Amino acid sequence: MILIRLAYGVLALWAVSVLVFLATQALPGDAAVTALGRNATPAGLASFRARFDLDAPLITQYWDWLRHVLSGNLGVSFSMSSSVSAVISSRVVDSLVLMAVSAVISIPLAVWIGVYTASRRDRLGDHLMSFVVLVINALPEFVMAVAVVVLLATNVFQILPAVSALDPNDSILGQWRLLVLPVLTLVLMVVPYVARTVRACMIEELASEHVRMARLKGLTERRIILRHALPNIAGPTFQVVAQSLAYLAGSIVVIETVFQYPGVGQALDQAVSARDIPVIQALACLLAAFYILVNILADIGTVAMTPTLRKRAR
């Protein structure tokens, strides 16, 4: 089963690489003119196109690019004249830190909210929490980001910086104040989806026969939840958590652009504006690879935590 999932993952990543390559070729404008400026001479433009094989047939360009990527060479940035690996390496680290901090906060919080609302179904706390979660879930990422900035950085409470421009000479954790707003936005976007899914699974589990039997035996509600209900929803919970991590990878493009956070999302936005094709291709494929890997791990984890699925996989 794992080998089949990996094979599908490789095939999907190859398909994504083809789509990304074709999409970058369809971008408006001329990459040579964008990189050298409108005052560039015809000889300079011709030299630039020859250097990066921009005049070669598309199939040749794709094959050369794919061959270099498989050998570990991501190419040279058009706008910065340095290797793509050097351009995006620090950006990837910054984005991973942002995602990791957001996941560490949002996942336990979402699971707790889901369990809390399910155990108090149809009570006041359940209705209030469900209403707040539903409202937050209905807001797009950029709207939530702007609302957080207005509330905590500009008009209402000016307690945090509105822009998360990190100093590359200082450690990320040493600039924790710059992480608060983007992390808070990502947490608010992830928690509702996970919490609602956990709540639905927990409600169904608490109505099961073995939980009723545990109540008849006189077990406390806390013990029933921790020992009988939670282990049985581990598979769906693991699946929704993995999907949330994949969602974080996509959301950082918007969030980092809004807060000017120097991560993968901002680098992708700048590369599209500058028509920096090698950087766009590398970042888009990197995000796709992360998404595919998370989904593969989610499938494997769900099977590992569900006895019936383990038997089928064998």
pLDDT of residue 312: 59
Rg (CA), the chain: 24
Is this prediction's pTM over 0.85? Answer: no
Contacts of 275 (CB under 8 A, 6+ apart): 27, 29, 30, 31, 34, 35, 78
Q: Is 175 exposed, middle or buried (0-12, 13-18, 19+ CB in 10 A)?
A: middle
Residue 88 makes CB contacts below 8 A (sequence gap 6+) with 74, 264, 267, 279, 282, 283, 286
The arithmetic mean of pLDDT across residues 2-21, rounded, is 88
Q: Reduced to 3 states, what is the DSSP secondary structure of residue 82?
A: coil
Q: How much is the pLDDT for 311?
A: 59
User: Which pLDDT score, from 0 to 100, does residue 109 have?
Assistant: 92
The pLDDT tens digits for 52-110 are: 777 778 888 888 888 888 888 888 888 777 888 888 888 888 888 888 898 899 899 99
Q: Which two tokens stand for residue 70?
A: 């498989």
For the chain, which residues make up each domain, given as ranges? Answer: 87-313
Statement: residue 310 has pLDDT above 60: no
**Topology of the domain comprising 87-313:** MetI-like fold (1.10.3720)
Taking the C-alpha atoms of residue 16 and residue 234, their distance in angstroms, rounded to an integer, is 31
* Residues 200-211, mean pLDDT to the nearest whole number: 85
